[in-house]
Structure 1
Amino acid sequence: MMERLREGANSLVVKIILSLIILSFVFAGVGSYLAGGGQMVAATVNGEEIDVREFEQQVQQERNRMQQQGGEQFLNLMGDPAYVAQFRQMILNQMINDVLIQQHADQLGLRVSDAQVRQEIFAIPAFQVDGRFDNDLYNTTLRRMGLTPDGFAERMRSDMRRQQLLAALAGSEFTLDSELAGVSALESQTRMVRTVTLSLDDIASDVTVEQSEVQAYYDMNSTLFTRPDQVKASYIELSAALLADQLEVSAEDVQAYYDANIARYSSTEKRRVSHILIEGDSSEAQAQAVLDRLNAGEAFADLAKALSADTFSGENGGDLDWIEKGAMDPAFEDAAFALASVGDVSEVVQSDFGFHIIKLTDLDGAVATPLAEVEAQIRTTLQQDLAVNSFFELKDTLADVAFEKSDNLDDAAEATGTTVQTTDFISETDAPGVLADPRVIQALFSQDVREDGFNSEVIELDSERAIVVRVDDFRYEEVLPFEDVEADVLETLTQQKAQEEASRLAEEMLAALEAGETVDAEFGDAEAFTRRGPNWVVANAVFGLPKPTEGPVYGSATGFGGDVIVFSVESVQEGQVADDLRPFGQQMLQGLSQQSLESVMDSLLSNAKVTSNVN
């Protein structure tokens, strides 16, 4: 076949085809590269780019968080393309705001030193073992997050600078005691309220929807009942964390690791020393003379007080208190830690400060934590290390077998000791768990995987997680037939009509009550409403009304389930000023700081040049 291709390469037809292909690259491919490199940029803020991969990662993280909190309700929302677009825009807006804040911090000259970043990282509990920073745990955690130490440090620096700016805004606000007293009294105010509920379910049971209305609504809003492109997926997921749970570590391995890293599980050796410092010309000879006097029996403390150039310690007999390794001049430290027993005196030692004679006065040796107390920690560390090594080996095997046997995942699962997981039909907006990752979605709906039936390449979700997917079945976007959604349309129209009827009844009732007329509804007994009550939707409406003067005041609010609550504010009991106004001061300062931040952001946005490439 290759021979025939070579023979045909000189034919006129092939040359024409090649010319057309080259032109298509010039006008489509290269042009897209020059103008559309922006496809890798989610937005540009005053010339600074927001990488689309970082944006998609933020979207995925927020989606996972919301899914954990909202469950099925959130998944239903994500089935609405309009909501998805709004959700993505919200994330992008936040990222744009963060860039603007960072740029503003640069203009103000806000800085965070390396030492501050390091101190902040050391204080993060997730990187600590027994209350102390653990470098191995730190690096392992970052690998799982797909971050490098330098990258994480820069994230920390950016966040700390942002907090500096926010703190500066907060620090510019203040409150008066009279304001706090007024807020305190308003906060504790109580209103006596009687309510009557117009139940949406009761009203809906009396609502009549004609078949013609159902059909007409469907005809006018058929796009609301569009089923998106969907696939049935199979996949194999590899995870170092899951592998760690399956790995056994022997007692011998634990002992060997403990012995090799005993310093990590030992307290720091401390030594208490005294010294005599000799400076100036002929100082070495003078120091040797002092050492000779010590060897002749004179007291170290007396000579230190009389002769040491370090007069501060000399007053205390040369005592330097407790020292640890890394705290002193290297030459001094080496000599001090070479002394074997309490009472030993060194030879003359030269440092950058002069010549010393050092005496060991007390010793607190390093104490190793018993193996039994750290065995579980060591076992976990070894499991994680083994799991990471196993993960990379299996990932290579998965890539090879999934490529060679591209028409199924069973062979790859057998080769890697994993299982093939499957889904029902899913779309780009409701894919569960790991399949919701943008890179996985892109693979599932690609030509090779969805329509040609091949396995995907190995997709690296992070440094220690990978996945291969394939499509078992798919169906294109389709407006669902009326018969399939008739019940949903009927329910939608019923709820709409019930809501309209509830609102109409509430308006009629309010008009009658304000006119002093009797209404055909029985209000409940008066209840004490506070601003922080459980039914805050109604409470907001209640406290939004003026105080009653010559009689009750009336209002209405729509509750969480759609019920309409008509209420009567009967009386107001003024609140008391709290003894401690500090919580109100903090609350007011937070509100004022937020207003200041919003004002700054409005100004920054109005003066910024922002372009977005996200739909």
Structure 2
Amino acid sequence: MLQAMRNKMHGWPAVVLLGVATFAMTFFGIEGYIMSRADTYVAKVGKHEISQQDFQDRMNQLRQQLSSEQGDSFDPDAFEKPAMKLKVLDGMIDQQLLLKANQDWGVRVPDQAVRDYIAAIPAFQISGQFDPNTYRTLLAEQRKTPEMFQDDVRASLATQALPNAIDASTIVTDAEIDHYLNLRMQRRDISYAVLPKPQAADASVTDAQIAAYYKEHLADYMNPEQVSLQYIEVNGADLKPDAAPSDADLMKRYEGEKQRFVQPEQREVSHILVNVPANATPEQQKAALAKADKIAAEATPGNFAKLATQDSDDLGSKRQGGDLGWLQKGVTNAAFDTAMFALKKGEISKPVLTPDGYDILWLRDIRNGEAKSFAEVRDQLLAEATAGDKDRKYNEVAGKLSDNTYQNPSSLEPAAQALGLPIKTTVLFSRKGGEGIAANPKVIKAAFGNDVLAQGNNSNLIELGNDDAVVIRVAKHVVAAARPLAEVHDEIGKTILEQRIEAAAKQQADGLLARLRKGDALAAVAASANASVKSVAGMLRVQPDVPAELRDEAFLLPHPADGKPQYAAVDMHDGGYALLAVSKVQGADLSKVTPEQRDMLRQQMIQAYGAVATQELIESLRGSTEIKIAKDRM
């Protein structure tokens, strides 16, 4: 066909068509003819795209974190709700806005801050000290290199750089602290009288009134829907372990993983940093190099610590005389690493250009790499192998249970016989849960779900915890039904009387309050209702000997004016009321606030004000940045 077209394309039609095609490719770009681009971002912040993979990774991280923190009360379905997804995405957008602001304003995270953060992580420590072997092993288990983890830490610290700077620049004055304390520790003189509950105007309740109330409030007198379950549980603690591995097996493991037990070569080093500003001018770079050259020329092992304390721009190490401790390859940046491992013990380097500026290094000592023998790590290998065998055993049995109950969805018997596990049964329980596995939110949700309850199928494998899972099915289902009127007759009669008494109590309290506001004395008004008056001077917001309802209302009332108390009728939430009078308001007794308490409060206020200022900054950045969200890709 192409040859036929070619044969016919002669003369002015060919010229016109060629011209149109040329114009199209020039105007739109030839890429449009050879490739197409489909947007895959979940959000676009300026020019930065938040990919679906990044979004899903963040969702999975938060899901695992909350599952670990909340245990059995964790609800995985919460992460499927659009509001939760949008909340997580908003957090990622805020982080990207802060990172972009860092870049625009020249805010950087120093390498030393990254090192300090990593060294302080307990999981990487042994006896309170950072352990390089543990560090590498744990990262390897997560399929991460030290460089990848350092990048993650740097990004995390970068999102806190501006908030931390805002906190550091926030000033809370003594006057602001006093103002807060005067509100928080304000004292009020009160008097109150708890009124006896009056009798109901009509103390008789007829059957007709009870029946009418029952019909109107039928939803309050229902027996809830209930189920009882059959289930098979796989618990790793109950599984019989396989035979312990032999020394030959452990030796084979040792030979295959010997690198894990090698202590890498390390350098004990101190440094002096001369900072080079971000986007520095040539003059600034020359000035920094000149300063670094001068320090390097003066530095000796004897005065290095003193020079570091005086001249280093690394705030994290200058107080320690520039001491960075023992370092190994991969912990610092490439330029620092190269210079550190090129030095001989006791040597001081010339200025080395690193991402933070110019570094002057002093190599104080060298620790050669050493390998631990099989005898030294045998117990560790045995523990790991035993734990691994136990995990494999559990995964094997749990997997077979899941497969068997899926293949036989209408019964647990085949799985029980194949695996030699018993079928257990729960008592009836409602959607509020019960005892044993019926208290687990995941089990409750599955038990009342459509697949198990309505369709009559076995559930999927439900993880109850580490190495503990069940498969359930409904053994008995009791639908929700109204309790018979005869069963709730007396209960309803009592409720109607209580409502009448509560209405009478409110009417009485409102009448007595009106008398107080007209000028009658509290003692006389209370006595007319057979109530006694109690007085509390200097009551605080937290006063255990005063009912909470009265405390809350007392601090809501206006200040007394012209020597006249402020009054209120207070619902005590037990069907009764109280009369309340506030006669005096005083500020806090600041002499009782210790300096330590003031310092703690100042830090709390700085964090609170800083959080508000950070949020205002983020809102400002949002307003000046084009943000696109693709909800259909979340």
Pair 263,178 (structure 1): closer, same or farther in 2 beyond 3 Å? same
1:353-372 C-alpha deviation (Å, 9 max, x unpaired) = xxxxxx99987886979999
- The residue that corresponds to 1:235 in the other structure is 231
Give SS of 2:193's match: strand
Structure 2 unmatched runs, 5+: 1-41, 103-107, 270-295, 303-322, 331-335, 346-362
CA-CA distance at 1:103 after TM superposition: 1.8
Is 1:390 the counterpart of 2:380? The answer is no
Query: Does structure 1 residue 399 correspond to structure 2 residue 416?
Result: no
Within 1, Cα distance between the matches of 2:325 and 2:126?
A: 26
Task: Judge which range, 117-126 or 526-535, deviates more.
Answer: 117-126
Distance (Å, rounded) in 2 between the aligned partners of 1:270 and 1:528: 65
Counterparts of 1:369 and 1:560 in 2: how far apart (Å)?
72
Q: Does 1:531 align with 2:546?
A: no
The answer to whether the 8 A contact 1:249-1:382 is kept is no
* Contact 1:268–1:324 (CA under 8 A) maintained in structure 2: no
Q: Do residues 326 (structure 1) and 339 (structure 2) align?
A: no
Is the counterpart of residue 544 in structure 1 residue 534 in structure 2? no
Q: Give the letter aligned to residue 543 of structure 2.
A: G
Which residue, 412, 416, 431 being the options, matches 1:409? 412
Match of 1:197 in 2: 194
Equivalenced residues, count: 484
Query: Hey, what's the Cα distance between the residues in 2 that align with 1:362 and 1:171?
Result: 39
Contact 1:551 1:570 in 2 (8 A): yes
Matched, 1:575 2:588: yes
Tell me by how many angstroms 1:220 deviates.
Answer: 2.2
Q: Is the 8 A contact 2:262 2:371 kept in 1?
A: yes
Q: What does 1:296-375 align with in structure 2 at a 5 Å threshold?
A: 326=329
After superposition, the C-alpha distances for 1:394-421 in whole angstroms (9 at most, x for unaligned) are 0232134435665543553465465544
Kindly state the Cα deviation for residue 380 of structure 1 after the two structures are TM-superposed: 5.9
Cα-to-partner distance string for 1:18-50 (whole Å, 9 max, x where unaligned): xxxxxxxxxxxxxxxxxxxxxxxxx99999999
- The equivalent position to 1:220 in structure 2, one of 216, 219, 224, is 216
* Structure 2 residue 117 is the aligned partner of structure 1 residue 100: no
What per-residue deviation string (whole Å, max 9, x for no partner) do you get for residues 501-526 of structure 1?
44434333333333343223101243
Q: Which residue of 1 aligns with 2:425?
A: 422
Residues 365 and 525 of structure 1: is their aligned pair in 2 closer, same or farther, counting only changes over 3 Å?
Answer: same
* Code of the aligned partner of 1:187: R
User: Aligned residue for 2:176?
Assistant: 179
Shift of 1:195: 3.0
Cα 1:385–1:179, aligned 2, differ >3 Å: closer, same or farther? same
Corresponding residue for residue 4 of structure 2: none
Residue 469 (str. 1) matches residue 472 (str. 2): yes
Could you tell me the TM-score, scaled by structure 1's length? 0.56
The one-letter amino acid paired with 2:536 is A
> What does the per-residue CA deviation read over 1:524-562, in whole Å, with 9 as the maximum and x for residues that have no partner?
243541123345553332222234452443334445767
- Show the counterpart of 2:11: none
- 1:234 corresponds to which letter in structure 2? Q
More deviation in 455-464 or 509-518?
Answer: 455-464
The CA distance in 1 between the partners of 2:155 and 2:490, in whole Å, is: 52
- The whole-number CA distance in structure 1 between the counterparts of 2:161 and 2:324 is 39
What is the CA distance between 1:470 and its match in structure 2? Answer: 0.9
TM-aligned CA deviation for residue 390 of structure 1: 1.0
Structure 2 residue matching 1:386: 3-state secondary structure: helix
SS at match of 1:425: coil
For 2:553 and 2:234, how far apart are their aligned partners in 1? 53
- How many angstroms apart in 1 are the aligned matches of 2:448 and 2:500? 40
Preserved CA contact (<8 Å) 1:128 1:137 = no
Name the amino acid aligned to 2:90: L
2:427 counterpart SS class: strand
- Residues 484 and 362 of structure 1, relative CA distance in 2, 3 Å threshold: same
**1:290 aligned partner:** none
What is the root-mean-square deviation in Å for CA atoms of aligned residues? Answer: 6.4
Distance in 1 (CA, whole Å) between partners of 2:147 and 2:231 is 33
Q: Deviation per CA, 1:437-468, whole angstroms, max 9, x where unpaired?
A: 78756653466643554433435678955431
Aligned pairs (5 A) from 1:137-176: 174-176=171-173
* Identical amino acids, percent of aligned pairs: 22
Tell me: CA distance 1:152–1:129, structure 2 relative to 1, closer, same or farther (3 Å).
same
1:575: how far off?
A: 2.3
CA contact (8 A) 2:190 2:582 kept: yes
Kindly provide the CA deviation profile for residues 589-611 of structure 1, in whole angstroms up to 9, marking residues without a partner as x: 45545666787899989x99999
Q: Take 2:165 and 2:91, find their aligned partners in 1: how far apart are those partners?
A: 12
Q: Which amino acid aligns with 2:187?
A: T
d(CA) in 2 for partners of 1:330, 1:611: 45
How many Å separate the matches in 1 of 2:254 and 2:222?
A: 65
How high is the TM-score relative to the length of structure 2? 0.55
The answer to whether the 8 Å contact 2:72/2:441 transfers is no
